[in-house]
Chains A and B, each alone.
Chain A
């Protein structure tokens, strides 16, 4: 009898920290639950063992390749960055609500079958981001690499019918920079332009560009542009070719997110549309609790510009009739924008919710499926009596 207690004694030691992942299209955040910042923010890329080329993990051509890339990438995360054994450790994955089921299933398969993790919990990024604030209601604007996704969260529940997603994010800004540079290239060719890589464009965006104010944009549209900011000399390539980045590019490249396109959609109208789609009594609390997350929201002047835009647009004829709200308030979470969602997962992952709600290895091995709220098999009224598949 005593012996069994000793064996049980192994369980008495404090449980291993769960690992929290936030896989992004461009950057992946990984760390441990209960910590204040991720251990690493790395590019979601892995060197392909066959070709020796860097491959973006979510750019795979078929599911087998996707599986291999994920295995290699997560292996690197565990053994190069987190430095712990994946086996028998809990995992929390912060996922977007719009994440395709195929990716979700594959991630579960990789983690359970290859890395033998003990349990897996998917948490929706928009909802857990609120746990970095301690509030229950907010309008969460996630500006990532590929898209900007706006989802209102009311009393801890995502208001899904009001969601907005548009490809207005880092990729759009970068293609705008490229376009502006190639436009200028026609009149003033420079050696640097030919050597530009995608990484260079991203670097230019991060280091030289900023989000300008609404007044300046409006004045420029009227044909009375303000004097543009000074240009920047940027060195490209190993031979240090000089590329001149004009003030126009620095100032106006981010404007692509705010110019209304043919359907009159921009980042700011997405926010307003999301508010309008919500019931009337939700609108005020949402407008007064806006949370900007995602790497693109960290651009200099982004918050100020969004605020100006919202105030300007809500008073404009386009919205003034439909929306009576004129003031907007913003949250500042105790984290940088690019890992706010991760931090939400890390806070959530350090609590009992992980033990209660995660999908255990045994359950996965039985069904070989991840329960999903959209699937009627898993989301019946009577959850107690589960129907067989």
Chain B
């Protein structure tokens, strides 16, 4: 799999204009377009802890500030802490001669040897300690911030009240028509009409605002301790910026004040095509599973190009390269070459047509119309940012190369192929199962000696669309002709003698 490690040899042009190896791309089966990580919509599917692999529902994860309640990170080196057990002997309070042994747990970092005992945190009696087991410093701050929040919220209400007073005479009465519906409170109606919730009476707002006490500036500030000029500084006792910022709320300056922080959760993400909002990739919910519910990687649908061999590249001289096309689909596909310009024109044509075809007007079921799907927001495709440093002689567009369907069993079948293809031996060098090796001639640009020889070409391929649209009830696989652009990096160009 040279492709995994040499991702810059063969690059495909995504619909958004980015150059990516095919292994990093998706193929939307509804829009029939290539998509990459840049031009799909990422969504958080589920939250889980990477240490204990527990899934948390989104609402719960939000409440817990996206942190696992049972796993902790070392505040010193930010690795995961492990729970260690010890036995301590405790003198029985009833019988002074008897000694009981108790199991106690503490947290220790296997990486940097930091333990909760280092900072004087007491050992815990239970194995799973909740985060509240440790004293939360900065409590007073939270109370003050809540007061401030309430104050600013009241200010906002006051402003809105004033604004509504001004606009009152223009308020249409039709807003009130919903109130006689059963089960609808005034708050619901306001929400329904897209209005913020009802305001309390202006006098209440004023009274509450009057209760607030703003902060008072003080003459005295935290002074520099005198001891700093005389005492030796043990720099290992001072926390680094990384350690401080791992606990943004407290930002302790001394190693002694570090407390373990709850581990951040990880997410499973799904990818959605921006054009049609269908998923191109959706992982399994279970965090220990690496499978996908939906996985439309481009390498399952689009013929893959690999570079096999290159003759020495000499400026303005013809040299041969051999590339392999392989067909990943279960149907035979036909490939023909086109120039980059033709392929680009085709791609543009395709983007202009799709908005109409993907959402047939008036065909959408009435139940969906009220959900008001906003038109897709998409960045404009960018021009491809790569300079071609070699010309390639492509076979003419009418030369069609048929690739056999992918057959997993054929991989292990050593017997020669029985299929007959009428190939031009000048072009097709070799065939095996779903692959065909082709010979192309490349003329590197003479003035680009010493640089990498980048060539580009487009190719058309046939694709069997097996998606049935809700509009057409009769399901029938459609054969469509798609095109793609690829850029190959063939290696360094040598000086011409």
Contact = CB atoms under 8 A, between A and B. Distances in A.
Interface of A: 3-5, 7-8, 11-12, 17, 27, 29, 34-42, 64, 71, 75, 79, 81-87, 112-114, 116, 131-135, 138, 202-203, 206-208, 210-213, 216, 226-230, 232-234, 250-251, 288-290, 298, 300-301, 303-307, 327-336, 338-339, 343, 347-348, 350-353, 355-356, 361, 365
B44 A79 contact: yes
B387 interface: no
B44 A85 contact: yes
A352 B248 contact: no
Contact of A352 (B62, B196, B214, B222): B196
Contacts of B156: 351-353, 356
Interface of B: 38, 41-44, 47, 61-62, 65-66, 138, 140-142, 144-145, 147-149, 151-153, 155-157, 159-160, 163, 181, 184, 188, 191-192, 196, 212-215, 217-219, 221-224, 228-233, 235, 238-241, 245, 248-249, 251, 264-267, 269, 367, 370-371, 377-379, 382, 385
Contact of B370 (A4, A202, A347): A4
A132 B367 CA distance: 47
A212 B222 CA distance: 13
Contacts, number: 193
A361 B155 CA distance: 26
Contacts of B188: 12
B142 A36 contact: yes
Nearest to A305: B224
Given A8-B191, A134-B215, A301-B228, 4 more contacts: A301-B223, A306-B221, A352-B159, A356-B159
B215 A207 contact: no
A5 B148 contact: no
Given A36-B142, A131-B148, A330 B224 contact: no
Contacts of A331: 215, 217-218
Given A37-B249, A41-B245, A116-B41, A303 B221 contact: yes
B215 A206 contact: no
Contacts of A336: 248, 251
Contacts of B184: 5
Which 8 pairs from chain A and chain B are nearest by CB? A301-B224, A329-B217, A303-B221, A352-B156, A37-B249, A134-B214, A351-B156, A133-B215
B382 A203 contact: no
B235 A87 contact: no
A27 B62 CA distance: 24
Interface centre among A38, A42, A233, A332 (most CB of B within 10 A): A332
Nearest to B222: A303
Nearest to A83: B66
Given A208-B233, A351-B155, A355-B196, A329 B218 contact: yes
B249 A36 contact: yes
